[in-house]
Structure 1
Amino acid sequence: MGREEQIEEREVLDSIFPEEITAFAPDGTDISDTEYRIAVTLNPPDDDEKEAEPPTLVLHVRYPEAYPDEAPILDLSPLPNAPPHPRFSVAADKEQLLKGLEDTIQENLGMAMVFTLVTTLTELAEQLMTERKEAAEREREEALLAAEREENKKFHGTPVTPETFLKWRDDFMREMEEQRQREEEERLAELKKAKIKEPPRLTGKQLWERGLIGKGEEEDEEPPTEQVEKLKVAA
């Protein structure tokens, strides 16, 4: 019963995946009567990595004797000599993809399931690529927003709160007091320099008392009274 269903399923798969299966068996032979491989080419998300070649993974299928009442034995590998893809790696995603097939296997026990497994595998792998594209886009958007926020900081001051206002007022009053003190010190310094350069001016009395005016003239000229007396005697 199981072997008949295996043969029938394989005939259906050959008609659905003629190139995908014969790519590994160009002479029409498989690994064995109960083991074969199917190449699964993925479609990257729209507008994603247009220059990159779409990734392809290889699904290895081996029938146990009781298949389909027993789960098939599956494995994944990359296509030989395939270039790496920035959004997908068989080596990195293999475990997650095989685990993602477990529910589908359990739901389809007793029925031919390889076509369903290929479909589910394709959806899971393409979903991974979509999620990675969206994550990269979010990362780019966050980087742009962060750069924009940094740029906007140049045009916005510190928000005014009672605390920031009180701090500003204290700083302002301190600066004004320091400036007043500096100006006062500068004024006193200027006054001190002025007193040194210009000695105090003396009054006329102080000049006479110090002999700076008047006395020199008295030594050269006689007083006016004595001159008058001399004139009288002569007459």
Structure 2
Amino acid sequence: MGKEEQVEEREVLDSIFPEEITDISDTEYRISIKLDLPDDGNDDDEPSEPPTLILHVRYPDDYPDEAPMLDLSPPQNASPYPYFSVAADKEKLLKGLEDTIQENMGMAMIFTVVTTLKEEAEQLVAERKEIAAKAHEEVMLAAEREENKKFHGTPVNPETFMKWREGFLKEMEEKAQREEEERLAELKKARVKEPIKLTGKQLWERGLVGKIDEGDDDESIPLDQIEKLKVEA
């Protein structure tokens, strides 16, 4: 009875997994299971190819009245995947199949086992990716909080206000002093005038023509020189 059911199940599995199933013997085979994972499109470190695991199945003589013997392994030369490892997760995944096996005792169960195994592995990856995303978000938020501290002023209290007021008044006093110094400098500069020069007519009217050297063809002389001439006269 068990042998007939084993052959029948094996034929059904051939039609379901034509490319994924490989015979080892009449009572032993392996099925390649590729996980279906959503493409988040925001993880540059995540491989484009989702992970694959190999389910090894061996029928005992009394299967399906007796549980099948199962094992898991990764494909040869499989690239590491950040959220899944067959070697590390094998025990957890096989243990997760125990209830499914017990619920299906006496019936062909390998298709159900494969479906459950695939769902459990995909759920495991999804949970780990969610944890990693939350951890990354926390890191980003912490970095943002640190950055925002640069733009937050010192908390205002009586002590900090008095310190600010003292510095502000000192700054205003220094500014007023600089402005006063600049104003006085401008006034002093404005009082310095150019020497006043008289025309020839003005010199004649004041009787100063004879006091000027005949070789001087300038029509006017500085006022300070004129004052000196007046004294000599």
- TM interval, shorter chain, is 0.5 to 0.7
Q: Are positions 1:83 and 2:79 aligned together?
A: yes
Deviation track 1:178-211 (CA, whole Å, cap 9, x = no partner) reads: xxxxxxxxxxxxxxxxxxxxxxxxxxxxxxxxxx
Could you say if the C-alpha distance between residues 2 and 139 of structure 1 is closer, same or farther in structure 2, counting changes exceeding 3 Å?
same
Residues 69 and 109 in structure 1, CA contact (< 8 A), matched pair in contact too:
yes
Residue 9 of structure 1 is matched in structure 2 by: 9
CA–CA distance in 1 between the matches of 2:91 and 2:155? Answer: 52
Residues 47 and 81 in structure 2, CA contact (< 8 A), matched pair in contact too:
no
Residue 20 of structure 1 is matched in structure 2 by: 20
Give the Å deviation of 1:153: 1.9
Give the counterpart of 2:120 among 93, 110, 124: 124
> TM-score with structure 1 length normalisation?
0.62
Residue 214 of structure 1 is matched in structure 2 by: none
Query: Higher helix proportion, which one?
Result: 1
Give the Å deviation of 1:159: 5.3
Structure 2 unaligned spans of 5+: 167-233
Deviation track 1:86-141 (CA, whole Å, cap 9, x = no partner) reads: 22211111111111111111111111100000001111111111112111211111
Structure 2 counterparts to residues 174-185 of structure 1, below 5 A: none
RMSD: 2.5
Could you say if the C-alpha distance between residues 167 and 95 of structure 1 is closer, same or farther in structure 2, counting changes exceeding 3 Å?
farther
Identity, % of aligned positions: 73
The code of the aligned residue for 2:138 comes to E
Residue 54 of structure 2 is matched in structure 1 by: 58
Q: Are positions 1:42 and 2:42 aligned together?
A: no
CA–CA distance in 1 between the matches of 2:138 and 2:116? Answer: 33
SS across alignment from 1:155: coil
Residues 69 and 111 in structure 1, CA contact (< 8 A), matched pair in contact too:
yes
Q: Highest CA radius of gyration, 1 or 2?
A: 1
Aligned residues: 164
SS across alignment from 1:18: coil
Residues 41 and 54 in structure 1, CA contact (< 8 A), matched pair in contact too:
yes
Residue 228 of structure 1 is matched in structure 2 by: none
